[in-house]
Amino acid sequence: MKISHHFDDATLIAYASGSLPQGMAVLVGSHLHWCKACRDRAREADAVGGSLLEEIEPVEMSGDALAQMLDCLDLPEAQRLPSTEPEVRSQKAMETGLPAPLAELLGRPLDQLQWRRIGYGVHQYDLGLEGPGATRLLRIAPGVSVPHHSHRGNELTLILRGSYSDELGRFCAGDVADVDTDVAHQPIVDTGEECICLIATDAPLKFSGLMGRLAQPFIGL
């Protein structure tokens, strides 16, 4: 897999610090599963964070700190943040061909999901994760584009299958688009193969045209 598009440093630092919403953390961990370059950068961010922690003055822990930690250990696997060692393959990842964090969350291959049609040539699967924004899988038919839009916050996209092109370039399987409020674009599937993407946002999108705004409640992004 040749990966040409990677995360911004700020995204990897937020991931290493555990400050990303769950959907974005799953998406970042899924890309890291495939991308050695970003894995190495994430480890560097971990190391920087560890050095900074050593310089912080100790503070007294709350009385229930141990209970809170034990509660986290009891969380179902899908509710935990992805590991910073995503190259370790799980059984689900090997069975589905998906990166481990996403494979563990879905529990089945993409073709076995209950996709919901939301427009011409576009189907969606909602991962149902908690937190701000939304985390969805989109399956887009060849030659179909999503409505032109900008962003009220951050949007991360991981290509799982196929490819698309937009104002930022061409994105293929394994690539990520890491965009913010400065970016407006309109991805279009550019081959005869459908494109399946994992998309995580922390705020609703801003669709430019009337049709996009009318469709937004059904899209959920």
Answer whether residue 210 shows pLDDT above 60: no
Q: What is the pLDDT of residues 151-196, one digit of tens each?
A: 888 999 999 999 999 999 999 999 999 999 888 889 999 999 999 9
Between 31 and 204, the more confident residue is: 31
How far CA 199 is from CA of 134, 142, 210, in Å, comes to 8, 18, 22
Q: What is the pLDDT of residues 53-89, one digit of tens each?
A: 555 566 677 777 677 667 666 544 444 444 445 445 5
How far CA 53 is from CA of 47, 48, 83, in Å, comes to 10, 9, 19
Give residue 79's pLDDT.
Answer: 44
Answer whether residue 8 shows pLDDT above 60: yes
Q: How confident is the model at residue 139 (pLDDT cuts 50, 70, 90)?
A: very high
Domain ranges in the chain? 9-106, 110-219
Give residue 130's pLDDT.
Answer: 80
The CATH homologous superfamily for domain 9-106 is Anti-sigma factor, zinc-finger domain (1.10.10.1320)
Q: For the domain made up of 110-219, give the CATH fold.
A: Jelly Rolls (2.60.120)
